[in-house]
Amino acid sequence: MDQKQAVTAFAALAQSTRLNVVRLLVKAGQEGMAAGALKDAVGASSSNLSFHLKELEHAGLIHSRRQSRSIIYSASFDGLSELIRFLTEDCCQGHPEVCGPFTTGSKFCCPEPENA
Amino acid sequence: MDQKQAVTAFAALAQSTRLNVVRLLVKAGQEGMAAGALKDAVGASSSNLSFHLKELEHAGLIHSRRQSRSIIYSASFDGLSELIRFLTEDCCQGHPEVCGPFTTGSKFCCPEPENA
DNA sequence: TCAATCCTTCAATAATCATTGAATATATAA
DNA sequence: TTATATATTCAATGATTATTGAAGGATTGA
C-alpha cells in the first residue's frame, strides 16, 4: 500500500454513510449484505448508496458479488488490514514499549513474542 | 467514540500531508517532533502545515506541547487506538475465525484467548 | 415476451476543504 | 528594549465531494 491508496481509503471512511456501511460489513463478516439491506440499514437513497458503495469498492475496502438479482457486498479484511498496518508502520521505532496501550497483542506495532 | 468523531478522524487522515505527519509521529513515539522538523520532513509551507496540524489535533489524533520556542507534536496513541477499535467493532460477530487474517492476535476483532 | 425487482449511471446543484501569502503572536537572546 | 526564531491566524481563491431525481441495465418469474 502506498500513500496515495491510503489517502483514498481514509477518504472513503471519512463520510458517515460509508463508515456506517463498512462497520456493518465488518460485523457481517464474509457473508456480507445485499445492497438493498444496506440501503434499509443506513437510510440512504438507492442512487446515493450506490455512489458510496462504489467509492468504497474503488478504495479497496469492500468487495461485491452478484447473487441473483441482488448484489452482495462484503468487507475486504485484507484492505482494512493493509490500511491499518500502513498507518501504524514502524510504530515507536526503537521504543515499542510505549505503544503498549495502543497495540498490545497486535501485529501492527509491537511484534508479538515468538512463543505466542 | 461516536460516528461523528470517527468521521472527523478519518477525514483528518484523508489528506497526504496530514497522513504523512501522523505516520512520522507514530514512528517518533512519545518524544514527538517539533513543528519545524515536521515542516522540513513533509515539505509544506509553515502556514499550511499549521493548518493541517490543527486539523489533526482537533480530530484527537495528535497532541502538542510547547518547549521553549518550539511546539512539539506527538501522536495520540489513545486516539488512534479508539479509532481502529471503532472501525473494527464486533468484527465478524458470531464467526470470528474469518477475521483471522485481519486481526490475528489483536484485541480489535477476535478476542485473544484467555491464556494469552 | 412482459412486467417486476434490484441496483447503477448520469448531470446538475450545493456544500466542504486545501492552499497561499501577509499579518500576528510567543519566546529567547543580546 | 530590540531583534530573531518559531509558529499560528486570517481572508480569498481554487478544487473536490455529496446529494438528488430521472433514466437505464441486469435478472427473474409469469
* Residue keyed to cell 510547547: B66
pLDDT tens for B17-73 read: 999 999 999 999 989 999 999 999 999 999 999 999 999 999 999 999 999 999 999
> How large a percentage of chain A has pLDDT more than 70?
80
> Which residue's CA lies closest to nucleotide C27 at its C1' atom?
B69
pLDDT tens for A14-50 read: 999 999 999 999 999 989 999 999 999 999 999 999 9
The beta-carbon neighbor of A89 closest among B20, B23, B78 is B23
Q: Does B81 touch chain A (CB under 8 A)?
A: yes
Thinking of the domain A3-80, which architecture would CATH place it in? Orthogonal Bundle (1.10)
pLDDT tens for A59-95 read: 999 999 999 999 999 999 989 989 998 998 888 876 6
Q: Does A77 touch chain B (CB under 8 A)?
A: yes
Strands B33-34 and B70-75: antiparallel
Query: In degrees rounded to 5, what are phi and psi of residue A14?
Result: -90, 40
| Dist. CA A62–CA A76, nearest whole Å | 5
Give B26's contacts in chain A (Cβ within 8 Å).
87-92
- All three cell numbers of B82, joined, read 479508539
